[in-house]
Structure 1
Amino acid sequence: MNYTIQLPASQKPLSLADLLEKQWLVPRKVRHLLRMRKNCLVNGAIAEFHQIVQAGDTLTVILEETDYNYQPLQLGQAKNVKVLYEDSHLIVVDKPAGIKTHPNEPGEKGTLMNDLAAYLAPSQSRPYVVHRLDQETSGTLLFAKNPLVLPLLSRLLEEKQIYRRYQALVKGEISRDLTITKKIGRDRHDRRKRVIDPRGGQIAVTHVEVFSHTPKESRIFCILETGRTHQIRVHLAALGHPIIGDPLYGKQTAPRLMLHAYQMSLKHPFTEETIEITANPGLW
């Protein structure tokens, strides 16, 4: 596949070798193959790796099928995919509640990733997981469409440069905004669950913004600073305000877990355009 990228106005001059290695995080093996095959073009001409590239240059990277490992997927139903944003490198979809993000076993079907693979198949693109949502959670979910952009999106996530805002309906009254910083670890007695673990847990930070509240329930927004498994669910349950409909950390008192990944924003790794996505209608 050929991937063509125009370097943004903010791009500082540097060698093609440094761009691929340090800025785009292309693995050493792939860089070697690109150089040996002469599979990098700058402004339409075969490029040498010592060549200087700069703002406005157009780079074409030609990747062969065997350059990256890819786990084959069973194709699902393309019609099930609701696209919120898409370009040639990444796609954000609105995940329904009750469906898994991706398969856990070879040949597994019925996940969002299976449906997305079917949706992307006509364009010869493939989905690559950047982050996940719990099976019970709905809303914005980001995938890479090629292996070139995947490490860049993963770096944005790791460096907390992908803004994620969730809606949640919780039990009881939360009357003011707050930040939860309780460490989260594994539950030794139930492999499905996570627990608050002040000594051995991982740092976890959740910011809570109150939308409305009554003595019985509260509508809140949660903004993730970290992305631990079940983070919002564990943090809110630890405060005595479990998410309504949570079968693991509360009670199944609603048809679904009332948690929705409502908004996402990020800076595009190649164009530096700010992308803002909202998954309407959400929970309210």
Structure 2
Amino acid sequence: MPNKYELNAEDNAGRLDKFLADQISELSRTRVKELVKDKHILVNGKAEKVSYKVQKGDLISVEIPAVKPLDVIPENIPLDIVYEDDDVIVVNKPQGMVVHPAAGHPDHTLVNALLYHTKDLADSPEGFRPGIVHRIDKDTSGLLMIAKNSTARESLEDQLAHKTNKRLYLAIVHGNFGEKAGTIDAPIGRNHFDRKKMGVVENGKNAVTHFKVLEQFKGYSLIQCRLETGRTHQIRVHLSYIGHPVAGDPLYGPRKTLKGNGQFLHAQVLGFKHPRTGEWLEFKVDPPKIFEERLSELRRSK
């Protein structure tokens, strides 16, 4: 099904493409240009150019056509399965693996591996991410819960929505803290200047991250983060926002950082109620080898 939006401009808002990219998170200015060309965007019932200056009172209709599902092919890729039964799988995703196919990553993903492992994965509305109820970034390692049927999907998604599950992350970050713990409550949305990045923005979605300082070293700290919400790049954006970007983060951190394979961020603990039995399940996995090696080096440098 296509996504449809109707927006009333409350003020004179400048170019049409910039206005829509700021208002609708799934749109970039390039995508707006494509939709305008195909007449999927109308202003007061008429097709306009992307350079059209939005006026107060304009009614803008947007229809984003449904994306044609990708053909997802099972691939024999080894999986580190921590737990599995008839309803759920808990997998320890390695750093460097994309969770599901998307533009630029059509294969070699966790979903490709899961489809080879089992035919029992919950359907997804998009078709290209069966079983997936939440994600972690390509270069973030750690635990994910996978739904094997619709009952499990509904239960796990409900727990995410109502914040009753448990997700704890380990991160090596730049700088030292004066406090032992804290909370970052700052809305996250698409970065206005770089569409590949997210950022703390005034009209973003509510986002809350709690953190606890575990160890401090020369120029770096080891912290634990607890997610209250699950926005794209949330931990990475929030920690950069408070001046403690995740070490190795190519998007939100400095160039001079710890050598590795991307950000030093690991989904260490995952807890949830079993979707069928109601039993509380909780799992914990160690960070990858390179994370442990850099941590050992930092401890020695103290």
Q: Same fold (TM over 0.5)?
A: yes
**Deviation, structure 1 residue 214:** 2.4
Answer whether contact 1:74 1:107 (CA < 8 A) is retained: no
CA distances 1:33-59 after superposition (whole Å, capped 9, x unpaired): xxxxxxxxxxxxxxxxxxxxxxxxxxx
Question: Aligned in 2, Cα 1:106/1:237: closer, same or farther, shift over 3 Å?
Answer: closer
The residue aligned with 2:72 is 73
The residue aligned with 1:193 is 197
How many pairs does the alignment contain?
A: 211
Aligned with 1:268 (options 263, 266, 274): 274
The residue aligned with 1:255 is 260
Distance 1:218 1:280 in 2: 18
CA distances 1:145-182 after superposition (whole Å, capped 9, x unpaired): 12232111111111101110000000010242111111
**Equivalence map 1:123-202=2 (5 Å):** 124-125=120-121, 127-175=130-178, 176-197=180-201, 199-202=202-205
**Deviation, structure 1 residue 98:** 1.0
Aligned amino acid, residue 74 of structure 1: I
Distance 2:70 2:152 in 1: 17
Aligned with 2:88 (options 90, 104, 120): 90
**Deviation, structure 1 residue 131:** 0.2
- TM-score, length-normalised on structure 1? 0.70
In structure 1, runs of 5+ residues without a counterpart are 1-69
Distance 1:153 1:242 in 2: 30
Question: Aligned in 2, Cα 1:247/1:205: closer, same or farther, shift over 3 Å?
Answer: same
Answer whether contact 1:74 1:108 (CA < 8 A) is retained: no
Distance 1:263 1:275 in 2: 11
**Deviation, structure 1 residue 107:** 9.4
The residue aligned with 2:233 is 230
Q: Which stretches of structure 1, 4 residues or more, deviate above 4 A after TM superposition?
A: 124-127
Question: Aligned in 2, Cα 1:72/1:273: closer, same or farther, shift over 3 Å?
Answer: farther
In structure 2, runs of 5+ residues without a counterpart are 1-68, 123-129, 293-302
| SS of equivalent to 2:150 | coil
Answer whether contact 2:142 2:287 (CA < 8 A) is retained: no
Distance 2:84 2:70 in 1: 22
Answer whether contact 2:247 2:264 (CA < 8 A) is retained: yes
Give RMSD over aligned pairs: 2.0
The residue aligned with 1:104 is 102
| SS of equivalent to 1:128 | coil
Distance 1:166 1:119 in 2: 27
